[in-house]
Amino acid sequence: MDAPTPRTQVRRLPERAVYGRETIDAVLDEALICHVGFVDNGSPVVIPTIHARVGDTLYFHGSPASRMLRSMKQGIEVSVAVTILDGLVVARTPFHQSLNYRSVIVFGRARLVDGDEEKMKALEAVTNHVTPGRWEDSRRVTSKEAKGTLVLALSLDEASAKIRSGPPGDDAEDLGLPHWAGVVPLALVPGEPIPDAGVDWPAPDYLTDYQRPI
């Protein structure tokens, strides 16, 4: 297990903390969305966006008109959070009601991706993060589209995971109470692809067989 930094050290329920990159990478790779936050003129700002991990770097993108992204490209400190829900933890008392989850927090200073080659690789990674194989099976991004997209990169030097799994943690004196307790598993389940107007051929296998990495 890697050593935490003062910012990534989990203080509440520290037994749920994981600092190893293998676990952190797995959560980032499975999660479909992240929340990026920073402080703007004394006010906290948070936005949801799509991300992708490439090695030791987390990429996310958005419109150049976004106030947050325009501020971050100047190199301000940011935090990124992702969460995957795995189950409802139903306890015998509301005090122990909980969720099974896997989460990651990343801290750092975002940098603007302005090199054409890295930017295209980042856009490819973000596209394939959501739908693996789609970048290769779609029209290429034009230079105009690339210029209209702001891409930021964040090092994974400061990151930690927090995980809860297993049954409810009811008190011993409550175990005999006549209330159902246990876990209701949750999973992301894709439906059948719905074709757009003018599309009269079957969806590709990477959509009909879609699933998240686990």
- pTM beyond 0.85, yes or no: yes
Indicate which CATH number applies to the domain containing 138: 2.30.110.10
**Is residue 7 one of the residues assigned to a domain?**
no
Mean pLDDT, residues 57-84 taken together = 80
Separation of CA 135 from chain center: 20
**Is residue 214 one of the residues assigned to a domain?**
no
Q: What's the number of domains the chain is made of?
A: 1
**Is residue 85 one of the residues assigned to a domain?**
yes
Domain that residue 101 falls in: 14-208
The answer for 117, left when phi > 0, alpha when psi is -120 to 50, beta otherwise, is alpha
Residue 1: per-residue pLDDT: 45
**Is residue 109 one of the residues assigned to a domain?**
yes
More confident residue, 66 or 132: 132
The number of beta carbons lying within 10 Å of the beta carbon of residue 122 is: 23
Residue 34: per-residue pLDDT: 96
Residue 65: per-residue pLDDT: 64
Distance between CA atoms of 129 and 46, rounded to whole angstroms? Answer: 21
**Is residue 21 one of the residues assigned to a domain?**
yes
**Is residue 213 one of the residues assigned to a domain?**
no
List of residues 6+ apart from 80 with CB closer than 8 A:
34, 35, 36, 37, 51, 58, 60, 105, 106, 154
Angle at 56 between CA 53 and CA 59, to 5 degrees: 40
**Is residue 113 one of the residues assigned to a domain?**
yes
